[in-house]
Amino acid sequence: MINFLNDYSVGAAPEVLDDIVGLSGESFLPYGGDRLCQEAKKLIAFDVERDDIDIHFLTGGTQANLTVISSVLRGHEAVLASEWGHIATHETGAVEATGHKVVTVPHHNGKVIVEDIKKALSFNTGEHMVKIKLIYISQTTEWGTVYTKNELEELSEFAHENGLWLYIDGARLGSALTASDCDFTMRDIAEYADIFTIGGTKNGALFGEAVVITRQELKADFRYYIKQKGGLLAKGWLLGSQFISLFRDGLFYRLAEHGNAQAAKIREAMMREGIPLASASRSNQLFPILPLSLVVELSQDFLFEIVDKVREDRAVVRFVCSWATDDTSVVLLESALAKYNFVEGEV
């Protein structure tokens, strides 16, 4: 089977694994107190162009989200997310399990817009309702789109003017930073977000998410939350090592760029065939709307996800490319699409 199911099917980029193997037999201080974690933090801080930030390493995205959100909020405070926000749909109520409501707003190409936050704030007034305190956005979004620099600035300014914090879930931040329509830098992310993550799991690491805290008020005692929520890895140097591999010489960006580039080729093929796309994504995820007969046909050779049925005979499906997507896979998918005999009006 040719794999377009997700960006975490294949192990790790060779450099990442080689570095771990190279450390075989060495001993380290536990729980991230080792020298590798310190070095990895310096490398990330260099890219962020800030030395006044705190950085922590966790193993997974849901873990990072629930740890961050529960550390930021008081008991009566809520986080606002898009109705498609990962925390709102695909984390088994992890945020609610820490006691906090996720207030949802409609999405616009996967994005949260200020207008909707305003409405939510004006609806949630007084102590009979939760107090919205944190804005959660994903970059790239769950629909593969990226917020522009202007959009990030607008959200950040609005948040801060209204006593809110902005959290950017960067599980696919590599893809965002290297998307063809990206107009911002890692430094911008750190400027606009009060806290954000840099995803390794979906971009060449075996596992690992870096949490970057830029806002002074949010730094205190974060390690207590990591431990309490079960995220403090005994052999934390494993995370340090992987983030060194990713940030030592730009591997993080090259890996993401490759995934985006492979997706771009498939996107062009889809447009050639006149296949409509449910999302304007220019990153590593594509969301074509396909006739069900094609979905069935493709599923014999390819792994991918069915997101939603849109009509009786159509479905939105998701194809994901990654650092590990080779040209052969892309070509095979392109030719499968080309081979399919689209009935008139079908696309």
Residues 20-39 touching a second copy, rule: CB under 8 A, are 20-21, 23-30
* Distance (Å, whole) CA 139 – CA 196: 10
Q: At closest approach, how far in Å is the CB of 262 from a second copy? A: 15
Among 40, 78, 105, 173, binds a second copy (CB under 8 A): 78
Residue with Cβ nearer a second copy (171 or 190): 171
Kindly report the length of the chain: 347
Q: Rounded to 5 degrees, what are φ and ψ at 53?
A: -115, 155
Residue with Cβ nearer a second copy (25 or 345): 25
Site string for a second copy, 208-247 (x = CB under 8 A): -------------x-xxxxxxxxxxxxx--x---------
* Distance (Å, whole) CA 123 – CA 339: 52
Please list every residue from 143 through 172 that binds a second copy, using CB under 8 A: none
Please list every residue from 306 through 325 that binds a second copy, using CB under 8 A: 324
43 residue type, one letter: L
344: burial class by Cβ within 10 Å (0-12, 13-18, 19+)? Answer: exposed
Among 51, 74, 312, 345, binds a second copy (CB under 8 A): 74
Residue with Cβ nearer a second copy (11 or 250): 11
140 binds a second copy (CB under 8 A): no
Cα(first)–Cα(last) distance of the chain, in Å?
A: 25
* Distance (Å, whole) CA 278 – CA 263: 15
- Span from 66-74, 139-147, 183-191, 311-319 in contact with a second copy (CB under 8 A): 66-74
Residue with Cβ nearer a second copy (83 or 154): 83
Q: At closest approach, how far in Å is the CB of 84 from a second copy? A: 11
Q: What is the total count of residues that contact a second copy (CB under 8 A)?
A: 73
Residue with Cβ nearer a second copy (266 or 275): 266
* Distance (Å, whole) CA 295 – CA 298: 5
Which residue in the block uniquely carries the two structure tokens 């990226």?
Answer: 146
Q: At closest approach, how far in Å is the CB of 130 from a second copy? A: 4
* Distance (Å, whole) CA 234 – CA 223: 13
Please list every residue from 91 through 130 that binds a second copy, using CB under 8 A: 91-94, 96-102, 127-130
Residue with Cβ nearer a second copy (242 or 281): 242
How many other CB atoms are there within 10 angstroms of residue 99's CB atom? 12
Q: At closest approach, how far in Å is the CB of 232 from a second copy? A: 7
70 binds a second copy (CB under 8 A): yes
User: Which candidate, 174, 248, 167, 156, places its Cα nearest to that of 213?
Assistant: 167
Residue with Cβ nearer a second copy (30 or 250): 30
8 Å CB contact between 188 and 152: yes
Among 90, 119, 187, 272, binds a second copy (CB under 8 A): 90
- Span from 54-62, 186-194, 244-252, 289-297 in contact with a second copy (CB under 8 A): 54-62
138: burial class by Cβ within 10 Å (0-12, 13-18, 19+)? Answer: buried
8 Å CB contact between 132 and 166: no
Q: At closest approach, how far in Å is the CB of 55 from a second copy? A: 16
Determine which helix (DSSP H) or strand (DSSP E) holds 197, and give its type and residue range: strand 195-199
* Distance (Å, whole) CA 7 – CA 203: 7
- Span from 144-152, 200-208, 256-264, 284-292 in contact with a second copy (CB under 8 A): 200-208
CA distances from 145 to 9, 26, 107, 180, 182 (A): 22, 42, 11, 11, 10
Q: At closest approach, how far in Å is the CB of 95 from a second copy? A: 8
Site string for a second copy, 268-307 (x = CB under 8 A): ----------------------------------------
> Regarding beta strands 54-58 and 285-286, do their DSSP bridges make them parallel or antiparallel, or are they unpaired?
unpaired
